[in-house]
A and B are shown apart, each in its own frame.
Chain A
């Protein structure tokens, strides 16, 4: 049978960001997928030469629009390790609170996109309606909707008043109730199950060998969540990785649905246990040394490598983002699938191309 190459992306209704795939198809079956990236490269790593290490927090936050806060937090953690800064516990709890809020809004965004990719428009609208409430909490507490700008080296820039914590918890309870409704549809609806079940299966061994991270890895049965390492306030708040064993698109969807409620629980615990005290310490001098920081983003593990030589500007800055780690797995599961399943499989790795290309 003759083979045809079908270009997929960079502009495609299912893709929120530009990635291009050359799909080699035989009839309706995909035989091979050849990716090409580089459409949104912005050279942010090179910017360390122009921006000093304090200002660079704002650049790090702009690597990604969805997990912006965790990017800023990871960068700060790396610099704090080099400079040996002890961050006040209240700041660590606030970082955890905002980090989990951004996880909820990222997962809700993904669930909405997933529903849209399946043609379930009303579910897409409801996911994003709930996400808007999360964004309102974020805006009220940090001042920004998606770019929080609330993390700085040595702590955080804004405090959450004790009076508003009660209101936030009440709002979170309402959001949780509404999320239960929409996740019920994602997990129990026959049409969703038929569309996602058994599609794009990645076995446990393959996921491990290909170096997958985040929900992609956990959906294949590997219990790995960097939050269990105990960065920020996770040393006091234990996190059990949520896993599934099937490794198909449905399992990835289910992991993300459950992580929503896990994050809600973490936020509740963090706000209840939040200690009083300072929110930041003064940081003076320039960093000198090398450090690696790892955190769990909504999409998986992000690794920051920072090298400094006692000057205002960093010497080297490198980011390994979760989507970059998950791309090989996506290319592994695409061959053999139906052409109609490609959008769903591409979406289940939650591709964040701006992160990947920086």
Chain B
């Protein structure tokens, strides 16, 4: 009987932990493999510009002369194209979803001179 199906479900959930979480106080559990925040590590980057060429939204800008890379977080669709084509594995998508973007413009990573 379907009446009792709903009753059973209601009783079960009345005494169970809620399916929802109180976000943002309880952060969401990160799933391995989730495409989240684009992370750039400049140690091995040769600024070849392949990532910027392959980016479908033009969110990446590479300046070889100045050795800088800029990521426009509001344009980035976290598709992972740049990660796939990077010959030096300098880019990766972390499973965390990063901070909230409060201003327009790119986040620039400038290589520090040693």
Contact = CB atoms under 8 A, between A and B. Distances in A.
Interface of A: 51, 55, 58, 122-123, 126, 129, 132, 136, 139-144, 147, 149, 157-158, 181, 184-185, 187-190
Contacts, number: 56
A149 B5 contact: no
Given A58-B79, A143-B93, A157-B84, A149 B35 contact: yes
Contacts of B10: 122
B99 interface: no
Nearest to B84: A157
Interface in B60-87: 77-80, 84
Contacts of A181: 5, 8-9
Contacts of A142: 33
Contacts of A188: 1-2, 5
B19 interface: yes
Nearest to A57: B56
B32 A140 contact: yes
B34 interface: yes
B94 to A, nearest CB: 11
B31 interface: yes
B15 interface: no
Contact of B56 (A58, A123, A139, A140): A58
Contact of A185 (B6, B32, B33, B56): B6
Contact of A139 (B6, B19, B34): B34
A184 B8 CA distance: 12
B84 to A, nearest CB: 7
Interface in B1-19: 1-3, 5-6, 8-10, 19
A149 B31 contact: no
Given A58-B56, A58-B77, A184-B2, A140 B19 contact: no
A51 B56 CA distance: 8
Contacts of A136: 31
Those 3 A-B pairs whose CB atoms lie nearest each other, nearest first: A143-B35, A188-B2, A55-B56
Nearest to B35: A143
Contact of A143 (B2, B8, B19, B34): B34
Given A185-B2, A189-B2, A189-B3, A143 B9 contact: no
Contacts of A143: 33-35, 78, 80, 93
A177 B3 CA distance: 18
A166 to B, nearest CB: 16
A181 B7 CA distance: 11
Given A143-B80, A187-B2, 19 more contacts: A58-B77, A58-B79, A122-B10, A123-B6, A132-B19, A139-B31, A139-B34, A140-B31, A143-B33, A143-B93, A149-B79, A158-B33, A181-B5, A184-B2, A184-B5, A185-B5, A188-B2, A188-B5, A189-B6
B111 to A, nearest CB: 28
16 contacts: A122-B6, A126-B9, A139-B34, A140-B31, A140-B33, A140-B34, A143-B33, A143-B78, A143-B80, A147-B77, A181-B8, A184-B2, A185-B2, A185-B5, A188-B2, A190-B2
Given A58-B79, A129-B19, A149-B79, A141 B2 contact: no
Contacts of B35: 143-144, 149
Contacts of A187: 2
A129 B19 CA distance: 7
A51, A139, A143, A157 — most chain B CB neighbours (10 Å): A143
A73 to B, nearest CB: 16
Nearest to B3: A189
Contacts of B9: 122, 126, 181
A125 to B, nearest CB: 8
A149 B80 contact: yes
Contacts of B1: 188
Contacts of A157: 80, 84
Contacts of A51: 56
A51, A132, A139, A190 — most chain B CB neighbours (10 Å): A139
Contacts of B78: 143-144, 149
